[in-house]
Amino acid sequence: MSLRSATDVAVGTELPEQVLRVTRADLVRYAGASGDFNPIHWNDRVATEVGLPGVIAHGMFTMALASRVVTSWAGNPGALVEYHVRFGRPVVVPDDDAGAEVTVRGKVGALLEDGRVRVDLTVTTDGEKVLSLARAIVRLA
């Protein structure tokens, strides 16, 4: 992982688009790590009983996927100094081997002081935004 330099980016610099798969197995692992065992994240019957279209990914898991794209681009997980999102709609994860696709796109929206940049993110599944107003502030080398 090479560190990205603040002198190498400009407003409009695009991060490489990443398409990430989310499977039910990922949700089980995340539930174990986070302690969030809400059945809407693993049980279709419960999810549909509460009005969801099916089992959904944890919002914080979706948020973490998007932040990983930013920190990979920056070349340093510690470069992320601020991160904000609003949850727009859930990522529905089918009970199959393919799971759901989450697409993450990013663009430098502003150059800030001290080598920091604001990255504006677009996070979608099935062409629909799942995170709204997603922005990360990273300190580049």
Q: What are phi and psi of 109, to 5 degrees?
A: -100, -20
pLDDT at 2 over 90: no
DSSP letter assigned to residue 56: B
What local confidence, expressed as pLDDT, does residue 6 receive?
A: 87
**Overall average pLDDT of the 110-133 stretch:** 97
- Rounded to two decimals, the pTM is 0.94
DSSP letter assigned to residue 14: E
Beta bridge partners of 102: 20
pLDDT at 120 over 80: yes
**Overall average pLDDT of the 11-40 stretch:** 97
pLDDT at 1 over 70: no
**Overall average pLDDT of the 3-21 stretch:** 95
Buried b (16+ CB within 10 A) or exposed e, 65-76: bbbebbbebbeb
**Overall average pLDDT of the 10-27 stretch:** 98
Fold (CATH) for 6-22+56-139: Thiol Ester Dehydrase; Chain A (3.10.129)
Q: Mind listing the pLDDT tens digit for each residue in 73-100?
A: 999 999 999 999 999 999 999 999 999 9
> CA dist 90 to 14, 31, 56, 113, Å?
25, 16, 6, 35
Enumerate the domain spans of the chain.
6-22+56-139
Listed in order, strand segments (DSSP E) in 38-79 are none
User: Cα(57)–Cα(35) distance, rounded to whole angstroms?
Assistant: 14
Neighbours of 131 (CB within 10 A): 25
- As a dihedral over the C-alpha atoms of residue 16, residue 65, residue 62, residue 9, rounded to 10 degrees, the angle is -40
